[in-house]
């Protein structure tokens, strides 16, 4: 196989949780362009169908499926539908996240709901599709983490702005990173690779003060854009990364390297 061909996702069935949000829309476009048969899954099927239709008009095969990640029955039903239709799953990208908390003083129920979906649900879907990949002795799981799972909060960035930080996100993104390592060790002998990418701040019409401060904290002098994440994810799903597992790849413009 030629070097560039190893980066192709042609012939691979890939599940992407989310697919219409800040990270997900760009990932959906990039994974489809890389040749994957792409299955988008989230609770908002209408939004996913819009993405699937847009990508279909570009000539790519993208499907929309309902998933409540916090409900194991929903995860198992998604698996069964995909296997019935395609007979295999080659890749899983854990991108979906439920934002329940607004601040540290929120009712405890919001923390519990976040953990139900973002921690317990993450484990449920990883285990479910990891078992499918184990049976075939091949597959790749890519977790979309965050630099906030690697470092503490820099509260200076938020001073005087309308933006804040929430504790649950730091908790479950930190847990995602070590779950990545655990599952990589557990499933490596079965040919299943598990890796994580850790995006830095993605520009989303932030307060200009925050943008300026954050950009100065990176080595590239800017926040991330919608097209900055897909290359890393494609690489980790593809045969080009066949000897990489248990890794965490920061996609942060050098923020965590300082």
Q: Which residues contact 215 (CB under 8 A, 6 or more apart)?
A: 221, 222, 223
3-state helix, strand, coil in the chain (%, to 5): 50, 15, 35
- Rounded CA-CA distance 219/254 in Å is 5
Question: Which among 21, 22, 23, 258 has a CA at the least distance from the CA of 154?
Answer: 258
Give me 242's structure tokens: 């066949």
DSSP code, position 243:
T
- Rounded CA-CA distance 165/151 in Å is 13
Question: Which among 4, 17, 24 has a CA at the least distance from the CA of 238?
Answer: 4
Q: Which residues contact 143 (CB under 8 A, 6 or more apart)?
A: 94, 122, 126, 176, 177, 179, 180, 194, 195, 196, 197
User: Which residue among the candidates 23, 158, 169, 203 is catalytic per the annotation?
Assistant: 169
Is 169 known to be catalytic? yes
Residues annotated as part of the active site: 169
């Amino acid at each position: 196989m030629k070097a560039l061909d190893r980066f192709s996702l042609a012939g691979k069935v890939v599940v992407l949780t989310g697919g219409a949000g800040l990270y997900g829309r760009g990932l959906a476009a990039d994974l489809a362009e890389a040749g994957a048969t792409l299955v988008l899954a989230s609770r908002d099927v209408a939004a996913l169908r819009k993405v699937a239709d847009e990508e279909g008009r570009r000539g790519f095969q993208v499907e929309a499926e309902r998933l409540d990640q916090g409900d194991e029955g929903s995860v198992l039903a998604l698996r069964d539908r995909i296997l019935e239709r395609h007979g295999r799953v080659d890749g899983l990208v854990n991108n979906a996240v439920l934002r329940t908390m607004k601040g540290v003083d929120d009712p405890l129920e919001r923390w519990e709901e976040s953990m139900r979906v973002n921690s317990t649900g993450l484990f449920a879907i990883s285990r479910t599709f990891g078992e499918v990949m184990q049976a075939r002795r091949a597959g790749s799981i890519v977790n979309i983490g965050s630099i906030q799972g690697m470092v503490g909060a820099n509260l200076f960035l938020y001073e005087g702005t309308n933006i804040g930080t929430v504790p649950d996100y730091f908790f479950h993104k930190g847990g995602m990173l070590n779950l990545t390592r655990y599952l990589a060790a557990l499933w490596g002998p079965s040919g299943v690779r598990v890796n994580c990418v850790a995006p830095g701040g993605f520009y989303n019409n932030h307060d200009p003060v925050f943008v300026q401060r954050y950009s100065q904290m990176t080595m590239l002098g800017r926040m991330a854009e919608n097209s900055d994440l897909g290359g890393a994810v494609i690489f980790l799903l593809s045969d080009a990364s066949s000897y990489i597992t248990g890794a965490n790849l920061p996609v942060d413009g050098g923020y965590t390297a300082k």
